Amino acid sequence: MLSYLVRRLFWFIPVLLVVSAITFVLMRNTPGGPWDRDLEARQVDARTQALLTEYYGLNKPLWRQYVSYVIGDFDKDSKFVCGMVCGNLGPSYRQRGRTVQDILFQPPENKSFWESRFGYSVRLGVMALSIAIVVGIPIGMMAALGQNTWRDYVGLFFATAGISVPSFVMGIFLIIIFGSWLHLISIVPRSWDSISVWILPA
């Protein structure tokens, strides 16, 4: 069992690299970029664009941009700057002077880590996993013990519906039923302090 887990962990690294490389290439080749012209917005002159492109390393070959993002690269002062493997997710293009890891992991002032954006995602993921385990395992056991009975068919129906129906469609239906019809939850919550706010997203 231990050797199986170790093999799976070692496979996780190349899979992660391949997925990140594909995502990186797709993102860099999709239409849209920081210098797309918006006639209603304030325009950036060509010299400023060139300086910013060089500053962010967007003038480098695509393979080097990926290596710089994942492993790291040398800056203008020949100092090595570690990349994603060291937790450095790079600067934010939207919020000047901030890094992506600050935006994700830094909580608001006088708040705990769980109040950060990543903390909210972790809490939501743990709650969703808990619901899946508490609900899914008993239903699966009931379906297995009563094969080809009504319990099996009911479990299969809910499993198939859960996999087939897109989450955004299911979410709208749940909001309509539990929010608009039954008034059991608040559709637009004022805060995330109440446990009832987390039930439908989870």
Convert the pLDDT of each residue in 40-91 to its tens digit. Answer: 656 667 788 788 788 778 888 888 888 888 888 887 777 888 888 888 888 7
Residue 130's pLDDT is: 93
The position carrying tokens 């619901």 is 131
Q: Among residues of the chain, what percentage have pLDDT more than 90?
A: 4
- Tell me whether residue 139 is exposed, middle or buried, using C-beta atoms within 10 angstroms of its C-beta: 0 to 12, 13 to 18, 19 or more: middle
Cβ partners under 8 Å of residue 91, min gap 6: 56, 98, 99, 100
Cα–Cα nearest to 46, from 35, 34, 56: 35
- pLDDT tens-digit profile of 9-41? 888 888 888 888 898 888 887 776 666 665 565
Residue 136's pLDDT is: 87
